[in-house]
Amino acid sequence: MKVSMPRWFYQLASPRWFYSFTGKLLPWFGLATLVFLSVGLVWGLVFAPADYQQGNSFRIIYIHVPSSILAQSCYMLMAISGAIGLIWKMKIAHIIAQVCAPIGASIAVMSLATGAIWGKPTWGAWWVWDARLTAMLVLLFLYIGVIALHAAFENKASADKAAAILALVGLVNIPIIKYSVEWWNTLHQGATFTITEKPAMPPEMWIPLLIMVLGFYCFFSVVLMGHARVELLEREKRSDWVKQLIERY
Amino acid sequence: MSFFYATLKRELLLVFRHRSDIINPLAFFLMVAVLFPLGVSPDPTFLSEVASGVIWVAALLACLLSVDGIFRSDYEDGSLEQMLISSESLWAIVTAKVITHWIVSGFFLALISPLVAMMFFLPEPAYPSLIASLLLGTPTLSLMGAIGSALTVGLRKGGVLISLLVLPLYIPVLIFGAGTVQAGAMGLPIQGYLALLAAILVFSLMLAPIAIVAALKISVRS
């Protein structure tokens, strides 16, 4: 039985097509980022009502939650594009996986930093050994491992494949790590702190949060495409289309 | 299957001819454990509280230290390449190597762990849980470590890199392993913990060899 992939999938594999396609997408995503982030930030930081317990300090949620969500989905994207690169030997997928790693690591750092800033007034400490904090820290370690492994290889093709395997191993392990850490926390200390549950959050509070999440995803796409295009040019610098591109400018 | 046993025999023979390969991880395990009373406090109540964690961390580091060498000598003299291009099952080669590593760094370590437990004033009812948790947990450490070793075997500087790759993956085993000992020390049932350790072991036994073989192919080709 022959299974054929859709046409766009093969087109995506062509570096030249990818370059021109993302070039067309970039301004739109940039515009969306600008709109979502400015609307979300102003709404969240100025107009949304203050929390009845935490007052205004809760407003960091508009940075913290989107970055935490994004840090996790970025790892998924990295591992999945690594797998696509391994299976279909697609250069672009490996490039995406490679540029995902440092971006994801910095987003994880942002999530940890904003969490610490939020934790100080709320819990009275910059860091607590809470399950979710620890899981995010381990995610950062996984990112660091992928970055370090990729950097250690001199041959880019081997580096791509090795990093993809490590990312996949990490992806399989993430749920195990997450649940073991959750269990460890509840077993050892009991719930001294619970991250403020937000079931009864009014719409004035969560709509800006949703806009911020969308804005973060758009921002991530812009950064990802930008880095991927640079990496693509770097890797394809000997090919004709890149030479033509350079001559045109 | 006879190929598997032949490889296992070869690996074990190699290890037992180099006795230092067996003794070094055990000595390392003891030394790391000794650092804690010296660095923190020799107080018996404190030591018995932290014993489970310290022993497990020391075991984990001892495993990490020796895991770097699983494929190295075979890679350097070219026999790994021959194994990869041979028609025999790579799964068998990899599994035999991991089992050998486990016998050296996990099995013997579990056997001498009561010595450290005694020095740390671990309550006696916890001894069986300590040995059982080490016996069930360290094979997973060897399997995960072998993934890191296979990924880095072609690189000149493996040491620190392999720790960065492997240590985050060790966290679940550490949590459940140390948890087993703590539950044992408090006289609580430990079956649940052992079942979880066994589940992680079965899971990694299924998937890790695939990753190890894929990683070895990349390392040898580069």
Cβ distance B219 to A155 less than 8 Å, yes or no, reads no
Pick from A144, A162, A173: CB nearest B169? A173
Structure tokens at B110: 């579990």
pLDDT digit string (tens) for B114-163?
999 999 999 988 999 999 999 999 999 999 999 999 999 988 877 789 99
pLDDT of residue B109: 94
Cβ distance B218 to A161 less than 8 Å, yes or no, reads yes
For CA atoms B149, B153, B158, B161, the dihedral sign is negative
| Domain interval for residue B9 | 2-221
CB atoms within 10 A of CB B123: 14
- CB contact A187 to B (< 8 Å): yes
Cβ distance A162 to B200 less than 8 Å, yes or no, reads no
Question: Is the separation of the CB atoms in B147 and B211 below 8 Å?
Answer: yes
Q: Which residues of chain B have a CB within 8 Å of the CB of A183?
A: 175
pLDDT digit string (tens) for A135-150?
999 999 999 999 999 9
DSSP letter for each residue of A150-173: HHH-SSHHHHHHHHHHHHHHHHHH
Question: Is the separation of the CB atoms in A181 and A174 below 8 Å?
Answer: no
pLDDT digit string (tens) for A110-133?
999 999 998 888 888 888 888 888
Q: Cα separation of B136 and B177, whole Å?
A: 9
Question: Is the separation of the CB atoms in B147 and A163 below 8 Å?
Answer: no
Q: Which residues of chain A have a CB within 8 Å of the CB of B143?
A: none
Cβ distance A145 to B200 less than 8 Å, yes or no, reads no
List, as own/partner pairs, every contact residues A186-194 make where C-beta atoms lie below 8 angstroms and the sequence separation is at least 24, other chains included.
A186/A131, A187/B179, A189/A129, A192/A128, A193/A123, A193/A128, A193/A130
The chain A residue lying nearest B173, using CA atoms, is A180
Interface predicted TM-score of the whole assembly (ipTM), two decimals: 0.91
Domain count, chain B: 1
Question: Is the separation of the CB atoms in A74 and A171 below 8 Å?
Answer: no
Pick from B151, B152, B171: CB nearest A177? B171
